[in-house]
Amino acid sequence: MGFQKAKTSLEDLIKKAGGCAVIDGGFATQLERHGATINDPLWSALCLIKDPDLIKRVHLEYLEAGADILVTSSYQATLPGFLSRGLSAEEGELLLKKSVTLAVEARNKFWDAVERNPGHSYNRALVAASIGSYGAYLADGSEYSGCYGPDVNLEKLKDFHRRRLQVLVKASPDLLAFETIPNKLEAQACVELLEEENINIPSWICFSCVDGENAPSGESFQQCLEAINKSDRVKAVGINCAPPHFIESLICKFKELTEKLIVVYPNSGEVWDGRAKRWLPSTCFDDDKFEVFATRWHDLGASLIGGCCRTTPSTIQAISKVLKDPKQS
């Protein structure tokens, strides 16, 4: 094509979506529902090696459900992770790039089909490159504890994130999504890295939360947001993969702590057992509850809303329906 489509900014998308853009839902969850086995240190990123077609299929299912933003398959895709299973650095970098191109291809395919259908109610989706926390890479559940041990300092976290960030940025996603950040140090590392690498792709930084009040490390969100609030490169902050019943009060808290856009995409309420590597039942939201609460979350000030682990395309369909056409619900 001889021209480049004008890039839709995050703010434009939110406006087009009626004040709140819908993020997709549990990516790994949907892979597993299709039979993928991801009990592996690479977790959902294993499919980049084993079954890239399935990744694209899941992206398409979330688009069909009404997602305005696709989060890529790179949450647990890291260069040290790929190296430790015998891949070369070059192969690892190609897989990271592929995580973005799979989502972009799904988005383009879906949009080409939808555009031919006058009267459709979809928006052209944006692709957010997922950047899972250091704890995700450790694969020991520490994205929900924030306990990285005494040897992990700011420089080590920046070193961990740097090359992956560079490679993902080179693949030209629309957004960057830092996910399940569990402590202040890692939030600071992400912000400093965006600055040092002069990254101009808009980012969001999301924290996990296990007590409904603080970051998993026990540090207050006020402490965690200090560095983020000083950065123009971070457009939105919020919470992902925390229980949905925490979200209302966390949005109110974040509203007091920041002027940035607020992003929330909770899990179903089930709790991850990092040792047994499985989800334990707990107080959960079904799709109907997500539908009711999505409106409240939006009214309280969230402008990016979706689902995380254990939510599915039907969850996203419920959220999308109520946010885009409240009268119909």
Ligand X SMILES: C[S+](C)CC[C@H](N)C(=O)O
Residues that bind ligand X (CB under 6 A): 43, 76, 136, 139, 141, 143, 180, 241, 272, 274, 277, 309
CA distances from 327 to 126, 322, 324 (A): 26, 8, 9
206 CB contacts (<8 Å, ≥6 apart)?
177, 178, 179, 180, 181, 237, 238, 239, 240, 241, 263, 265
Q: Report yes or no: 246 and 238 within 8 Å, Cβ to Cβ.
A: no
- Between 224 and 309, name the residue whose CB sits nearer to ligand HCS: 309
Binding mask 230-259 for ligand HCS (x = CB under 6 A): -----------x------------------
* Identity of residue 76: Q
Residue 309 binding ligand HCS, by CB under 6 A = yes
Residue 28 binding ligand HCS, by CB under 6 A = yes
226 CB contacts (<8 Å, ≥6 apart)?
184, 188
**Contacts of the segment 2-8: beta carbons below 8 A, 24+ positions apart:** 7/174, 8/124, 8/126, 8/174
Residue 179 binding ligand HCS, by CB under 6 A = yes
Q: Residue 323: which of Zn ion, ligand X, ligand HCS, none does it interact with, CB under 5 to 8 A by kind? A: none
Q: Report yes or no: 189 and 161 within 8 Å, Cβ to Cβ.
A: yes
Residue 102 binding ligand HCS, by CB under 6 A = no
Distance CA 135, CA 186 (A): 10
- Between 28 and 237, name the residue whose CB sits nearer to ligand HCS: 28
Residue 26 binding ligand HCS, by CB under 6 A = yes
* Identity of residue 1: M
Tokens 């009711």 found at = 292
Q: Report yes or no: 193 and 162 within 8 Å, Cβ to Cβ.
A: yes
Q: Residue 27: which of ligand X, ligand HCS, Zn ion, none does it interact with, CB under 5 to 8 A by kind? A: ligand HCS
Nearest approach in angstroms of CB 25 to ligand HCS is 9
Q: Report yes or no: 188 and 223 within 8 Å, Cβ to Cβ.
A: no
Choose the binding region for ligand HCS from 20-28, 152-160, 190-198, 291-299 (rule: CB under 6 A): 20-28
- The annotation status of 241 as a binding-site residue, yes or no, is yes
- The annotation status of 47 as a binding-site residue, yes or no, is no
Residue 81 binding ligand HCS, by CB under 6 A = no
The SS3 of residue 77 is: coil
Q: Report yes or no: 152 and 134 within 8 Å, Cβ to Cβ.
A: yes
Query: What does the binding site for Zn ion look like in residue numbers (CB under 5 A)?
Result: 241, 308-309
- Between 123 and 217, name the residue whose CB sits nearer to Zn ion: 217
Q: Residue 274: which of ligand X, ligand HCS, Zn ion, none does it interact with, CB under 5 to 8 A by kind? A: ligand X
Nearest approach in angstroms of CB 147 to ligand X is 14
* Identity of residue 248: E
- The annotation status of 224 as a binding-site residue, yes or no, is no
Choose the binding region for ligand HCS from 25-33, 193-201, 229-237, 318-326 (rule: CB under 6 A): 25-33
Q: Residue 130: which of Zn ion, ligand HCS, ligand X, none does it interact with, CB under 5 to 8 A by kind? A: ligand HCS
Q: Closest Cα partner for 128 from 23, 279, 259, 242?
A: 23
Nearest approach in angstroms of CB 240 to ligand X is 9
Q: Quote the DSSP letter at residue 268.
A: -
Where along the sequence are the contacts to ligand HCS (CB under 6 A)?
26-28, 44, 71, 75, 130, 179-180, 241, 308-309
